[in-house]
Amino acid sequence: MSFQTISVIGLGYIGLPTAAVFASRKKKVIGVDVNPKAVATINQGRIHIVEPDLDIVVHAAVTEGYLRATTTPEPADAFLVAVPTPFKGDHEPDLGYIESASKAIAPVLKKGDLVILESTSPVGATEQMSAWMAEFRPDLTFPQTHGEESDIRVAHCPERVLPGHVLRELVQNDRVIGGMTPRCSAAAASLYKIFVEGDCVVTNARTAEMCKLTENSFRDTNIAFANELSIICDKLDINVWELIRLANRHPRVNILQPGPGVGGHCIAVDPWFIVSKAPAEARLIRAAREVNDSKPEWVLEKTKLAVGEFLLANPLKTARDVTIACLGLAFKPDIDDLRESPAVAITQKILATHPGPVLAVEPNIDALSGQLAGRLRLEVIDAALAVADVIVLLVDHKSFKTIPRSILTTHKVVDTRGIWSAC
Ligand code: SAJ
């Protein structure tokens, strides 16, 4: 199959890099986003998100005329849907963005087109997307009713790239291709082969949906195991970092690292998509979510204890005199992304409950915004260490790792990442 024009619906952390990489292979790419500001920024050859080297690729793609952004879908040979899939209420998946995208592209579909769902989705979402498009285009046939003979081919090909390494992983990672029929899979595989150097492994749509959810649930469960161990070890006076290092010397053990909780828009969300489809059966997956979601509360308790210990050693002071410095706000090291960050949630709770000054150090941002702005002061490391009595280390950014271990003797420290306590 030859694809002259490719349209990417949703120009966020996945859609924009994907559009730019197709364009870098000299394909005509039409990017579509509901956000007119993002569209304008991209059409100026700039980007509205943070991802290493993406600005260079987008700038080249736009100036060479291969990539153009718009707010309204236009005809294309292939459509990739990369819109958010958050959860709502009691952790049920919210497919509202997929529904809107399906209805937006339906009017411009023509016989022979390929539509791919890239967004991480609950099992059955690809069939649902196809049903939404069919509803709007009774003149075209779709795989759920016409199988291999359908006018439109539909597949689920989940993204699997790690933020911060998106451009490399897009090209090098293997790709799971889940067509609604074998012909749909073949069409999707030939599209990805335009830039994917990894294997394009073919399966059906439901297995591809579950595969993506399984990958992130596996990681969530492993992190929950590490987080639970950290709480048990604290109780039993064992250094969890040393324990994990020792256990991982076994050839078949590979435990991940504890932290203040699990953040980001994927690992803390996707396991719920499995739970929502099989609530009685997904017991371990749910428990892992609960363990990871409860870790920030435990960090808050440890912070209160540290303040108490400081006051015991300084009986003339009150809690009002105790300065707490929270090191790190991002959801993981060496990025500037604060969304869904346990570090932000913990800092906000400390701010709400601690009567004394609270500082934050986040070397990857210039200013605080939203709910964090106001009482919270953003400081550089040295200034924060100079005035803080209690240090709460929340993110293992590179620059924090240079702070000497002697901090454990000069300050009360809650080290959620083990950067000093691991030795
Ligand atoms: N974390 C720990 N301990 C660890 C590893 C991670 O506490 O040992 C925490 C991080 O600090 C962070 C959270 O987990 O708060 C998630 O970070 P991450 O680096 O594990 O994952 P994400 O959310 O950046 O990206 C994941 C990746 N999935 C897997 O590794 C299985 C990525 O490949 C997916 O494409 C991405 O989710 C996604 O979009 O689904």
Q: Which amino acid is located at 49 in the chain? A: I
Cα(267) to ligand 1 centroid in Å equals 6
pLDDT, position 106: 98
Pair of tokens at residue 343 = 């570090």
The torsion of the CA quartet 336, 337, 341, 344, rounded to 10 degrees, works out to 50
Cα(278) to ligand 1 centroid in Å equals 23
Residue-level length of the chain: 423
Cα(214) to ligand 1 centroid in Å equals 13
DSSP summary character for residue 181? S
CA distance linking residue 3 with residue 188, whole number of Å: 11
Active-site hit among 157, 184, 200, 212: 212
Would residue 304 show up in a list of annotated catalytic residues for this protein? no
β-partners of residue 67 are 29
Cβ neighbours around 1 below 10 Å, total: 13
Which residues does a 6 A CB cutoff place in the pocket of ligand 1? 120, 159-163, 215-216, 219, 223, 256-257, 259, 262-264, 266-267, 331-332
Q: Tokens 């090909």 — which residue?
A: 157
Give the mutation target among 216, 218, 231, 339 for probing the ligand 1 site: most ligand atoms within 8 A of CB: 216
For the CA of 227, the closest atom of ligand 1 is 7
Q: Which residue, by CA, sits nearest to atom 10 of ligand 1?
A: 332
Cα(271) to ligand 1 centroid in Å equals 12
Pair of tokens at residue 54 = 């993406």
Query: In this structure, are residues 179 and 209 in contact, taking their beta carbons and an 8 Å threshold?
Result: no
3-class secondary structure for 88-102? Answer: ECCCEECCHHHHHHH
Query: In this structure, are residues 401 and 415 in contact, taking their beta carbons and an 8 Å threshold?
Result: no
β-partners of residue 88 are 92
Helix residue spans in 44-181 (DSSP H): 54-63, 96-105, 125-136, 143-146, 166-172
Cα(340) to ligand 1 centroid in Å equals 12
Q: Which residue, by CA, sits nearest to atom 4 of ligand 1?
A: 257
For the CA of 266, the closest atom of ligand 1 is 40
Cα(394) to ligand 1 centroid in Å equals 16
For the CA of 164, the closest atom of ligand 1 is 24
CA distance linking residue 266 with residue 273, whole number of Å: 11
Q: What share of the chain is helix, strand, coil (3-state, %, to 5)?
A: 45, 15, 40
Q: Tokens 């809690």 — which residue?
A: 319
Q: Which residue, by CA, sits nearest to atom 39 of ligand 1?
A: 266
CA distance linking residue 322 with residue 375, whole number of Å: 15
For the CA of 216, the closest atom of ligand 1 is 31
Q: How far is CA 147 from the centre of its chain?
A: 34
Active-site hit among 266, 295, 302, 326: 266
Cα(406) to ligand 1 centroid in Å equals 30
Cβ neighbours around 16 below 10 Å, total: 27
Query: In this structure, are residues 9 and 83 in contact, taking their beta carbons and an 8 Å threshold?
Result: yes
For the CA of 264, the closest atom of ligand 1 is 23
Q: How far apart are the first and last CA of the chain?
A: 56
CA distance linking residue 293 with residue 271, whole number of Å: 12
pLDDT tens, position by position, for the chain (423 residues)? 789 999 999 999 999 999 999 999 999 999 999 999 999 999 999 999 888 999 999 999 999 999 999 999 999 999 999 999 999 888 899 999 999 999 999 999 999 999 999 999 999 999 999 999 999 999 999 999 999 999 999 999 999 999 889 999 999 999 999 999 999 999 999 999 999 999 999 999 999 999 999 999 999 999 999 999 999 999 999 999 999 999 999 999 999 999 999 999 899 999 999 999 999 999 999 999 999 999 999 999 999 999 999 999 999 999 999 999 999 999 999 888 898 999 999 999 999 999 999 999 999 998 988 878 877 899 999 999 999 999 999 999 999 999 999 999 999 999 999 999 887
Q: Which residue, by CA, sits nearest to atom 32 of ligand 1?
A: 162
Give the mutation target among 121, 174, 267 for probing the ligand 1 site: most ligand atoms within 8 A of CB: 267
Q: Which domains does the chain have, with CATH numbers?
A: 5-198 (3.40.50.720), 218-415 (3.40.50.720)
Give the mutation target among 220, 244, 332, 417 for probing the ligand 1 site: most ligand atoms within 8 A of CB: 332
Would residue 200 show up in a list of annotated catalytic residues for this protein? no
For the CA of 161, the closest atom of ligand 1 is 35
pLDDT, position 89: 85
